[in-house]
Structure 1
Amino acid sequence: MRVHLSLVVFAASLTAHAASPIDCAKASTPTERTICHTPTLLQADARTTAYYEIAIGLVGMGVRGDLGDSQQAFPAVRDKCGTDKACILAAYKKQTAPLEAVIANVEKQGPF
């Protein structure tokens, strides 16, 4: 299980670089424009999306709803940072931490 899940996470992180949910051609907030012009932040955005897509498929309905609510609310939280790159990165790290925990827990104990 450990090797299989690690490969899934690795593969998702590789493909996620091109799959950011922010459409940089239509970036509408100062935060989105800052993310689009900062490779580290664009990677953090893609990583958060990839981890969410993995984690959401590994948990039961109750946790799935909580993760979905958090992910849906995240852009508003992130956008409070304005153009502060350190703040934006910290917001991504905070958003990604519970998703990483879900994946690590499933890797140890199995789903649900």
Structure 2
Amino acid sequence: MKGRFVIIAAAALLSSSAAQAGEYAPLDCAKAASPAEKAVCGSYALGQAEARMATLYGVSMSLVAMGQRGNIGEAQQAWIKTREACGADNACLDKVYGERIGVLDEVIRNVASHGPF
């Protein structure tokens, strides 16, 4: 019982720090409006990339210092514009998702190697 409480408390702490840092919500396919959003929602592979990228973004935002959160959030907003510029071009979308996932993976690797601890 005590272990479950610790896990729940840690999850709440992580989610609240990410929320305070500026959230990126994965695409809601029921509300997809742009050609890029519709293409992502229409492709299993791109949908998986969206889910992975959103997860990495949330984890990154919860692990880094406050100043870095602003930089990551601004980069995410710029990335969204890049994604939208792809329109319905799946190859372009695959490329930009791969690049963003690589950047966010690097953020997490950097924290793991140097640690905030």
The TM tier, using the shorter chain, reads: 0.7 to 0.9
Output the aligned Cα RMSD: 1.5
Find the aligned partners of 2:28 and 2:42 in 1 and give their Cα distance: 12
Shift of 1:81: 0.6
Find the aligned partners of 1:87 and 1:99 in 2 and give their Cα distance: 19
Shift of 1:72: 2.3
Structure 1: runs of 5 or more not aligned: 1-19
- CA deviations 1:43-95 (Å, max 9, x no partner) are 11111110010011111122111101111232221011111111001111111
In structure 2, give the amino acid aligned to 1:108. S
TM-score normalised per structure 2: 0.73
Find the aligned partners of 2:94 and 2:116 in 1 and give their Cα distance: 29
Structure 2: runs of 5 or more not aligned: 1-24
Identity of aligned residues (%): 43
In structure 2, give the amino acid aligned to 1:70. A
1:28 and 2:30 are equivalent in the alignment = no
Find the aligned partners of 2:63 and 2:43 in 1 and give their Cα distance: 31
Larger Rg: 2
Q: Hey, which bits of structure 1, 4+ residues long, moved more than 6 A?
A: none
